[in-house]
Amino acid sequence: MLEVKLHDIGEGMTEAVVIHYFVKKGDDVKADQPLVEVQTDKMVAEIPSPAAGTVLDIFVPEGQTIAVGTTLLSLQTEAVGHEQAKEQAAVTVEAEVEIESEPVIGEPARTNESKTKPQRILASPYTRKIAREHGIDLSLIQGTGPAGRITDEDVYRYLQGQQAPTQQEQATQLVAPAAEREPASVTVTKEETKEEMIIPFRGRRKQIAKKMTQSLFTIPHCTHFEEIDVTELIALREELKEHNVNISATAFFIKALSLALKQFPIFNAKLDEENECIRLEKEHHFGIAVDTEEGLIVPVIKNIEKKSLRQIHEEAKALTKKAMENQLSLAEMTGGTFTISNVGPLGGSIGATPIINYPEVALVAFHKTKKRPVVLENDEIAVRSMMNLSMSFDHRVADGATAVAFTNYFAKRIENPKLMLMELI
């Protein structure tokens, strides 16, 4: 018999959620055939079959979070023969049914002598204590330890599974803009046994929490707000559309920010406290906050400083799509030097205090563009398209005046997009 385990998928990931099995008990599988799909905090992966054979048993139900090293399923390899394996699988099924019908442990009847002795619970007293402390009935757990023993792991796994929804049960709901780094989506599961609603705190949600906490507890944040007139930019985009060129506002923002960073490289830097220095990054790798059902994720467009507006536009579009489909590779999610978050399309937001994507130095959020009456230089009142931005920066690294100078530089280029031409390489 061959056990298929969740192996180390790199990047320090220690756990994954079982999303979907491509096979079921008794199925014949070929070598390298995908057996199961798992999702880590960052990506989705398929685990292929290490050998040809028959699926004997599946140990971890879909929706559960498991640690690296956990056995997912067992295979009867070909040498033994399919029929025997299928028989064994069938026997296991029967055994499970028997276990389920056994009396529950800890019934008062046990202290008063009863004639029918309950089937033994295969768990050591220590494991039983863990179960008690979490209010788990061990008779409901199928052990994965030696000879079906219930291990500590099994109890923890059951505990997580109990709170984890299966895919079908998931009901998703969009509640908050990503720039505020509130839960971008909330998965709500109603448990039959409990009154309260439970949202699993694991996977990406947990990863987000970890990063946010690390950032906010490390970086003294300072956020300043700016108002930018984007009327000219809108006009330029309309003009381009007439030539069948569609470039998103975000692409212009990214390019303009990159130009500003050339003047103010302090915001494209990393603080190296250990070596008492600030490292200015030459390359502009922009993280773009994307709101997905599973929560916030930040794909990275590399080398903005070398890319055209069109390239930036196309790449941003492609990465966002991948992010929505959980198809991002590790390389596409790492290496950022600066982050933007465009919450304008979500509507409603006029300002925020974004949390910096640690260990970067700054982050800019763009809010909704609205038509507003504006007093022009000549004291006339005109209707202009105005957009607010919020910029958070690491106050250890830079000061408010520099940040204002930075956004001024940026604003000038957005308000007069033609100016950008002067600087494009």
Partner 1 sequence: MVVGELAHERDVVIIGAGPGGYHAAIRAAQLGLTVTLVEKEELGGVCLNKGCIPSKVFAHAAQSMTSVQHMNDMGIEWAHVAFHPGKLQQYKTKVMSQLRQGVEALCKANKIEVMKGTAFFLAENRIGVEKGDAFDVYRFRYAMIATGASLVSPASIHVDHKRVLNAYSIYGLEELPEHLVVYGSDYIALEVATSFRAFGVNVSLILEADDFAFDSSINRELQRLLKKMKVKVYKNSRLIKAANDGEQVTVSLSVKEQETVTIEGSHLFVSCRLQANIEELGIERLDLERTEEGFIRVDAQSRTTLPHIFAVGDVTGGPALAVKAIKQGKVAAETMAGKQSEADTTFLPTIVHSIPPIASVGLTEEEAKDQYKDVRIGQFPLTGNGYASIIGQKDGFIKVISDADSEMVLGVHMMGAGTIELISSGVIGLEMVGREEDWKFPLYPHPSINEGLLEAVEALGAEAIHLLPLKQKGAVSS
User: CB-wise, 120 or 243, nearer to partner 1?
Assistant: 120
Q: How many CB atoms lie within 10 A of CB 106?
A: 15
124 lies in the binding site for partner 1 (CB under 8 A): yes
Among 79, 97, 146, 347, which residue sits at the site for partner 1 (rule: CB under 8 A)?
146
Among 7, 30, 82, 129, which residue sits at the site for partner 1 (rule: CB under 8 A)?
129
CB of 105 to partner 1, least distance (A): 7
C-alpha Rg value of the chain to the nearest Å: 28
CB of 79 to partner 1, least distance (A): 23
Residue 345 CA to residue 330 CA, distance in Å, equals 27
User: Are 36 and 102 spatial neighbours (Cβ–Cβ below 8 Å)?
Assistant: no
CB of 164 to partner 1, least distance (A): 23
**Burial class, 241, CB count within 10 angstroms (exposed 0-12 / middle 13-18 / buried 19+):** exposed
Residue 364 CA to residue 373 CA, distance in Å, equals 25
Contact positions with partner 1 (CB under 8 A) in 165-204: none
User: CB-wise, 124 or 173, nearer to partner 1?
Assistant: 124
Residue found under tokens 């990931």: 13
Token pair recorded at residue 114? 């009863």
DSSP for 136-193, please give it: --GGGPPP-SGGGPPPHHHHHHHHHHHHSPPGGG-EEEE-S-GGGTS-SEEEEEE-SS
CB of 397 to partner 1, least distance (A): 48
- Strand bridging mode 290-292 / 381-394: unpaired
CB of 125 to partner 1, least distance (A): 5
User: CB-wise, 135 or 347, nearer to partner 1?
Assistant: 135
User: CB-wise, 34 or 145, nearer to partner 1?
Assistant: 145
User: CB-wise, 95 or 240, nearer to partner 1?
Assistant: 95
CA atoms within 13 A on the CB side of 94: 6
* Helix 400-415 and helix 231-242, axial crossing angle in degrees, nearest 10: 40
| # chain residues binding partner 1, by CB under 8 A | 25
User: CB-wise, 79 or 147, nearer to partner 1?
Assistant: 147
User: Are 57 and 95 spatial neighbours (Cβ–Cβ below 8 Å)?
Assistant: no
User: CB-wise, 118 or 265, nearer to partner 1?
Assistant: 118
Return the bridge partners of 74, or none.
3, 57
CB of 103 to partner 1, least distance (A): 12
SS3 297: strand
Contact positions with partner 1 (CB under 8 A) in 259-318: none
Query: SS3 sequence, 354-395?
Result: CCCCCCCCEEEEEEEEEEEEEECCCCCEEEEEEEEEEEEEEC
Among 12, 83, 125, 274, which residue sits at the site for partner 1 (rule: CB under 8 A)?
125
User: CB-wise, 124 or 246, nearer to partner 1?
Assistant: 124
Among 38, 75, 123, 333, which residue sits at the site for partner 1 (rule: CB under 8 A)?
123
Residue 300 CA to residue 335 CA, distance in Å, equals 7
| Candidate segments 5-13, 123-131, 218-226, 278-286, binder of partner 1 by CB under 8 A | 123-131
Residue 155 CA to residue 10 CA, distance in Å, equals 26
Residue 12 CA to residue 40 CA, distance in Å, equals 10
Among 10, 69, 81, 148, which residue sits at the site for partner 1 (rule: CB under 8 A)?
148
SS3 221: strand
Q: Among this protein's residues, is 134 annotated catalytic?
A: no
Give the x-and-dash track for 80-119 against partner 1 (CB under 8 A): -------------------------xxxx-xxxx---xxx
CB of 102 to partner 1, least distance (A): 11
137 lies in the binding site for partner 1 (CB under 8 A): no
CB of 118 to partner 1, least distance (A): 8
Among 7, 24, 82, 132, which residue sits at the site for partner 1 (rule: CB under 8 A)?
132
Q: Is the dihedral of CA 117, 97, 106, 70 positive or negative?
A: positive
Candidates 20, 221, 224, 395; catalytic one: 395
| Candidate segments 20-28, 122-130, 187-195, 285-293, binder of partner 1 by CB under 8 A | 122-130
Among 89, 122, 257, 397, which residue sits at the site for partner 1 (rule: CB under 8 A)?
122
Among 83, 94, 98, 133, which residue sits at the site for partner 1 (rule: CB under 8 A)?
133
Q: Which residues bind partner 1 (CB under 8 A)?
A: 105-108, 110-113, 117-120, 122-125, 128-129, 132-133, 135, 146-149
Which residues does the annotation mark as catalytic? 395
